[in-house]
Amino acid sequence: MCGRFFIGQPPEVYRAFYGYSEQPNFPGRFNVAPTQPVPVVISESGERHFRLMRWGLWPTWLKDPSDFPTLFNARIETAAEKPAFRGALRHRRCVFLADGFYEWRREGTGKAATKTPFAVRRTDGAPMAFAGLWEPWMGADGSEVDTAAIITCSANGTLSAIHERMPAILAPEAIGPWLDAAVDAPEAARLCRPCPDEWLRLDPVSERVNNARNDDAGLPEPVAPPASRRAPAKAAIVQGELF
């Protein structure tokens, strides 16, 4: 799954990488959480555009979102079958702007369980293109909100050391087809697969990331894990890599 992520590079880096025409000047965000506004890229009439959307998809048929669950992730294996996602998978696909995400490794059970946070980023430092779905929602009072969810898939070998799911990270050559509504849903879904193991780097980070109110550039910085939570030798984390 993907419940927190970070966006830290200058805005012009994303503009050059994705090729949209807008020139937004947005600040870095280092602990993005569901229900917050998030930057995404969409395609309209063959051109890419930058948009801000609510992270947490509201289907167009939803009447009252007050008691509706927060759909911040959509499993690619079932998105085509789910009423909340199947229309968006066919017609309204997007890419979330991000540099990486956080995931927690759970150890132990019950009250003795601990969760160690990790920052997951690309080894080459490039933006991390999360496949997403979006829906425009209109309230009874005429209010309009664009909403979005991140697509998830099975974890690759690198991430499986801490979690069984991961966001679908698109290859650069897959971004165009994913955004193109002329590409049908089954073909688009095939683009959402675990990325190559060598793309990703895992770094233990401060437990301050557990609180979504903390949002500063130090959050994704690597820290030494507590001795009691260090992985055994066969899965040791050394210089940000798992082996």
> Which are the catalytic amino acids?
2, 103
Name the residue among 44, 45, 50, 47 with its Cα closest to residue 15: 50
- Which residue has 């997403």 as its token pair? 132
User: Is residue 116 within 8 Å of 204, Cβ to Cβ?
Assistant: yes
Cα(203)–Cα(220) distance, integer angstroms: 8
Cα separations in angstroms, 114 against 5, 96, 104, 111, 210: 21, 30, 9, 8, 12
In the chain, the amino acid numbered 14 is Y
Backbone angles phi, psi at 15, to 5 degrees: -60, -45
Percent helix, strand and coil across the chain, each to the nearest 5: 20, 35, 45
Taking Cα atoms as reference points, which of 46, 91, 94, 95 lies closest to residue 184?
91
223 vs 54: CA distance, rounded Å: 31
User: Token pair of 121, please?
Assistant: 């980023």
Question: What are the φ and ψ backbone dihedral angles of 46, each rounded to 5 degrees?
Answer: 80, 0
